[in-house]
């Protein structure tokens, strides 16, 4: 009897809840786009909870699509806040992997040619990317936020029915995303044209929905909403006094197009509907550091109207009604298939690149039966993306026949297979020497299934240089590689301590070199190399008649270890480069026996908070017997005996050790520009000698520097420095890594 009574009471409670649900109108929440200003939506969600206002439908555009999706998944306001403020949103507009993530080969190329040009060659034409950023990192952010939620046949299956609005870029019409992968739908709605690459869904290129419908009131009405709460954070037209440039005019046109659609949506609101328009003055779309201020503005704008709405609907009269609503949302949330942690089952690879499937899978290192967290899987995806040949590496997880299947979609860069990069180096000592170098690089990639490359470089300026190289790995795991290269180089050096009362000789070096190289990449950041090299050139000594021709040829052995996060101003990692050569020298038909040449360089940073120390140094020796060493060792310039000009000192032997301190004053952190700002100084000791017996601390030179630097992600380091040593002092200006 008691069990029958309990069932009866439960039935009555359900009937009462159903009656109350029908007694109140179905409430829809429309959230507009606005980038960082979208944090105001978080404030509205907080107030909805505070006043116990249920949401039956939610639709969003751009950043509104993100907050709407988080609410639709059943997250409460605190959970949404925790996830949102744990995300580095600026990183979503920067796909480049860090230097520490790159392979050793890519690090060396990037250190020399630091500017990636936004164009490629497809064999017939120059091609541009579909967006300044391809959205790889933004996809990672949204997968993290949604915990790898499985694709849904309908977004009505979410805890709260949901829609996202995107724009079909071919037709310039709205597309209402109502099913599929939630993170992909969010990204399509958030992909700002020109900044983020459009997202391909069902054969359509979809981008930010704000262009066509930034406040989806009509979408909610179609879903069945009877009362709509619309939150408008879109930009307003600028007054005439703020239209002072062409950029302002173009921005005004963009605002007008978005605003026109928003006004049409506002016109659809009924008398009982609610429009909340927070004051977003002073908060830019890309200023994610201002998100807490946007929350405050949202609370200020939303508190009074939402309190009045709750009172009008008498929602506070029956607390059990909101509790039952939350229980229903939580139950639907519990039914969602999330993948915070999972066991790897099958791997389905959709490889749209010329790299072999085995190479891709070897790089991912995913093993069937392995237990992975979502963070660990993202790290594996990042390892693959760090190869630098992909436009996007996407995945989704689905439960199929009782096991987790990882579906991988890999797309090669659409603006290749030929890619351009550039270097620009400026060294000015404000006295008697200006070193300017400009270089253009071209890489023809993925010439075989292992990712073979044909690399070409041309440099003009103080140094004239031509370089061509064919490079190919020859195993699936990319550990073993072979390359062959040719190089032309012309530059001037000063050779000191030549005797007969001569301070130095100014020598023009001009040579052509050939090299073949076998590499064993024990790890992506560590390489053993064995090769053969030959160099033929001419020396022209200023003040002397004629020139000397020479040959150098022989084997060499290298070891490279590099985990630095920055070449110029590292704060973590280590670098060690060693080269041992056994060259035979022939100068003007005078031959010498094989003699060893050794070069080494190291960097070892230490950091605490914003303070950084870097112990660095180098050593070199040559076996050349000629009066002017054909394989000369050089020092001079900033951090290489500061106070001297670049490569001012040259001889048979060099040794240098130094300690650099730098402090981070600031960090520019915009979506398209990353640059820490440093001040610091160094102390150095070293020298150049022509005889090993002359090397001593007493004959070495002490030097020091003071500097301020901007470690730009666009041009490389920009440094203004003062250098002083026992003999000279110099003021330097550097742009690029050539120091």
**In sequence order, what are the beta bridge partners of 590?**
587
Ranking 339-348, 392-401, 423-432 by mean pLDDT, the lowest is 423-432
What is the model's pTM? Answer: 0.85
C-alpha distance from residue 267 to each of 38, 76, 163, 270 (Å) = 22, 31, 20, 8
Average pLDDT of the segment spanning 296-302: 96
Q: Determine which helix (DSSP H) or strand (DSSP E) holds 515, and give its type and residue range.
A: strand 504-523
Give the span between the Cα atoms of 273 and 312, in whole angstroms: 12
Average pLDDT of the segment spanning 493-509: 67
Note the pLDDT of residue 594.
64
- Mean pLDDT of the residues in the chain: 88
Ranking 444-453, 510-519, 574-583, 728-737 by mean pLDDT, the lowest is 728-737
Average pLDDT of the segment spanning 358-363: 94
Higher pLDDT, 211 or 499: 211
pLDDT band at 248 (very low <50, low <70, confident <90, very high): low
By percentage, how much of the chain surpasses pLDDT 70? 89
Note the pLDDT of residue 238.
64
Q: Answer yes or no: is pLDDT of 651 > 90.
A: no
Dihedral sign for Cα atoms in the order 498, 691, 602, 478: positive
Note the pLDDT of residue 144.
94
Give the span between the Cα atoms of 480 and 319, in whole angstroms: 68
Q: Which two tokens stand for residue 465?
A: 């240089």
Average pLDDT of the segment spanning 190-198: 87
Dihedral pair phi/psi, residue 146, rounded to 5°:
-100, 5
Closest CA to 35 of 264, 165, 191: 191
Q: Answer yes or no: is pLDDT of 385 > 80.
A: yes
Note the pLDDT of residue 3.
47
Ranking 252-266, 271-285, 714-728 by mean pLDDT, the lowest is 252-266
Note the pLDDT of residue 649.
85
Note the pLDDT of residue 19.
39
pLDDT band at 691 (very low <50, low <70, confident <90, very high): confident
Q: Answer yes or no: is pLDDT of 494 > 70.
A: no
pLDDT band at 728 (very low <50, low <70, confident <90, very high): confident
Q: Answer yes or no: is pLDDT of 4 > 60.
A: no
Average pLDDT of the segment spanning 390-396: 93
Dihedral pair phi/psi, residue 559, rounded to 5°:
-140, 125
Q: Answer yes or no: is pLDDT of 7 > 80.
A: no
Ranking 179-193, 359-373, 641-655 by mean pLDDT, the lowest is 641-655
Average pLDDT of the segment spanning 369-391: 92
Note the pLDDT of residue 345.
92
pLDDT band at 428 (very low <50, low <70, confident <90, very high): confident
How many CB atoms within 10 Å of residue 202?
A: 8
By annotation, the residues acting in catalysis are 62, 208
Q: Answer yes or no: is pLDDT of 704 > 90.
A: yes
Note the pLDDT of residue 595.
73
Average pLDDT of the segment spanning 549-568: 92
pLDDT per position as a tens digit, 656-681: 999 999 999 988 766 556 788 999 99
Q: Answer yes or no: is pLDDT of 410 > 90.
A: yes
Provide the greatest CA pair distance for the chain: 120
Note the pLDDT of residue 656.
97
Q: Answer yes or no: is pLDDT of 348 > 70.
A: yes
How many CB atoms within 10 Å of residue 355?
A: 22
Note the pLDDT of residue 75.
97
pLDDT band at 17 (very low <50, low <70, confident <90, very high): very low
Give the span between the Cα atoms of 475 and 472, in whole angstroms: 9
Q: Answer yes or no: is pLDDT of 2 > 50.
A: no
Determine the distance from the C-alpha atom of residue 502 to the mean position of all C-alpha atoms in its chain, rounded to a whole number: 52
Q: Answer yes or no: is pLDDT of 553 > 60.
A: yes
Note the pLDDT of residue 229.
97
Note the pLDDT of residue 668.
74
pLDDT band at 432 (very low <50, low <70, confident <90, very high): low
Q: Answer yes or no: is pLDDT of 431 > 80.
A: no
Average pLDDT of the segment spanning 226-230: 97
Using CB atoms within 10 Å of the CB of residue 543, give its burial: 0 to 12 exposed, 13 to 18 middle, 19+ buried: exposed
Note the pLDDT of residue 447.
95
Using CB atoms within 10 Å of the CB of residue 577, give its burial: 0 to 12 exposed, 13 to 18 middle, 19+ buried: middle
């Amino acid at each position: 009897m008691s069990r029958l009574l309990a069932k009866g009471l439960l039935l009555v409670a359900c009937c009462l809840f159903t009656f109350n649900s029908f007694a109140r109108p179905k409430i829809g929440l429309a959230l507009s786009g606005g980038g960082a200003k979208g944090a105001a939506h978080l404030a509205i969600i907080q107030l909805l909870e505070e006043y116990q206002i249920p949401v039956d439908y939610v639709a969003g555009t751009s950043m509104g699509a993100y907050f709407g999706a988080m609410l639709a998944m059943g997250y409460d306001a605190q959970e949404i806040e925790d996830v949102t403020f744990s995300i580095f949103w600026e990183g979503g507009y920067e796909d480049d992997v860090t230097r520490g993530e790159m392979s050793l080969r890519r690090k060396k190329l990037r250190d020399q040619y630091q500017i990636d040009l936004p164009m490629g060659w497809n064999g017939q034409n120059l091609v541009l990317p579909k967006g300044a950023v391809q959205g790889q990192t933004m996809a990672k952010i949204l997968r993290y936020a949604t915990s790898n939620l499985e694709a849904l046949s309908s977004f009505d299956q979410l805890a709260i029915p949901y829609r996202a609005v995107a724009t079909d870029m071919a037709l310039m019409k709205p597309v209402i995303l109502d099913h599929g992968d939630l993170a992909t739908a969010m990204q399509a709605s958030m992909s700002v044209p020109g900044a983020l690459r459009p997202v391909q869904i069902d054969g359509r290129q979809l981008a930010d929905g704000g262009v066509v419908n930034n406040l989806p009131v009509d979408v909610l009405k179609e879903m069945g909403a009877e009362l709509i709460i619309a939150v408008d954070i879109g930009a307003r037209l600028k007054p005439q006094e703020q239209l002072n440039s062409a950029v302002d005019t173009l921005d005004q046109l963009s605002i007008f197009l978005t605003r026109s659609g928003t006004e049409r949506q506002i016109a659809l609101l009924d008398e009982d509907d609610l429009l909340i328009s927070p004051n977003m003055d002073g908060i830019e779309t890309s200023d994610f550091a201002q998100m807490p201020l946007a929350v405050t503005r949202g609370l200020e704008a939303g508190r009074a109207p939402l309190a009045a709405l709750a009172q009008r609907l008498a929602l506070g009269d029956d607390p059990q009604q909101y509790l039952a609503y939350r229980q229903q949302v939580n139950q639907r949330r519990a039914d969602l298939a999330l993948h915070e942690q999972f066991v790897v089952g099958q791997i389905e690879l959709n490889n749209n690149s010329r790299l072999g499937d085995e190479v891709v899978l070897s790089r991912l290192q995913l093993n069937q039966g392995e237990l992975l967290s979502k963070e660990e899987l993202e790290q594996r995806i990042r390892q693959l993306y760090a190869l630098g040949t992909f436009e996007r590496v996407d995945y989704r997880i689905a439960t199929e026949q009782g096991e987790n299947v990882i579906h991988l979609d890999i797309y090669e860069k659409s603006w290749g297979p030929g890619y351009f990069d550039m270097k620009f180096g400026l060294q000015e000592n404000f006295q008697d020497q200006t070193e300017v170098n400009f270089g253009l690089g071209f890489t023809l990639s993925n010439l075989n299934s292992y990712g073979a490359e044909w690399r070409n470089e041309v440099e003009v300026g103080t140094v004239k240089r031509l370089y061509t190289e064919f490079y190919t790995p020859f195993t699936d795991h990319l550990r073993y590689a072979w390359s062959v290269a040719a190089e032309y180089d012309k530059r001037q050096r000063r050779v000191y301590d030549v005797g007969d009362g001569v301070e130095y000789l100014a020598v023009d070096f001009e040579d052509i070199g050939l090299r073949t190289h076998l590499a064993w990449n024990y790890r992506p950041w560590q390489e053993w190399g064995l090769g053969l090299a030959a160099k033929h050139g001419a020396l022209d000594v200023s003040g002397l008649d004629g020139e000397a021709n020479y040959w150098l040829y022989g084997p060499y052995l290298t070891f490279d270890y590099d985990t630095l996060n920055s070449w110029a101003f590292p704060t973590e990692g280590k670098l060690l480069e060693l080269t041992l050569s056994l060259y035979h020298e022939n100068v003007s038909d005078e031959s010498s026996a094989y003699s060893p040449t050794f070069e080494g360089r190291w960097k070892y940073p230490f950091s605490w908070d914003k303070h950084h120390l870097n112990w660095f140094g180098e050593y070199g020796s040559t076996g050349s017997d000629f009066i002017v060493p054909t394989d000369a060792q050089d020092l001079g310039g900033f951090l290489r005996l500061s106070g001297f000009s670049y490569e001012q000192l040259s001889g048979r032997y060099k040794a240098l050790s130094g300690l650099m301190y730098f402090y981070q004053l600031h960090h520019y952190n915009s979506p398209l520009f990353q640059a820490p700002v440093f001040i610091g100084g160094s102390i150095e000791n070293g020298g150049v000698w022509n005889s090993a017996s002359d090397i001593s601390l007493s004959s070495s030179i002490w030097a020091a520097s003071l500097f301020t630097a901007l470690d730009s992600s666009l041009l490389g380091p920009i440094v203004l420095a003062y250098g002083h040593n026992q003999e000279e002092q110099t003021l330097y200006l550097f742009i690029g890594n050539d120091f």
